[in-house]
Amino acid sequence: MIHKLTANFSLHDIQFFAPMDNLKDRIILNISKGVDNNVLSNDDLLQIIECVGDYLNLATISKYATKNDLSYNGAKNNRNIKKIFGVRFVVDNK
């Protein structure tokens, strides 16, 4: 939703309609503005995704299970699983 807001409004206008009091909203807004203004390239966006993936310690269920000597079902049923882009990942950033 924020992406659609950024195209036609200034940051001040957007904050009037949808106040952004937390860091997450400001990050999303700045990424949207960077894409809309051709400041961020596809490679830049991929670097952001990779960085966030590293912080979350994202791994597909099968890779996580292999790396941690677990069965696929053991990882699937006993770990924090999130679906991203249609693929299920284990989020393990303890």
**61 DSSP β-pair partners:** none
32 and 11, same domain (yes or no): yes
Number of domain units in the chain: 2
For 32, the enclosing helix (H) or strand (E) is helix 23-36
For 59, the enclosing helix (H) or strand (E) is strand 59-60
Higher pLDDT, 61 or 9: 61
| pTM above threshold 0.75 | no
What tens digit of pLDDT does each residue of 2-53 get? 455 455 666 556 666 666 678 888 899 899 999 999 999 999 999 999 999 9
Domain that holds residue 22: 1-40
Structure tokens at 75: 């990882």
In degrees rounded to 5, what are phi and psi of residue 19? -55, 135
Look at residue 90 and tell me if it is in a domain: yes
Structure tokens at 73: 């079902």
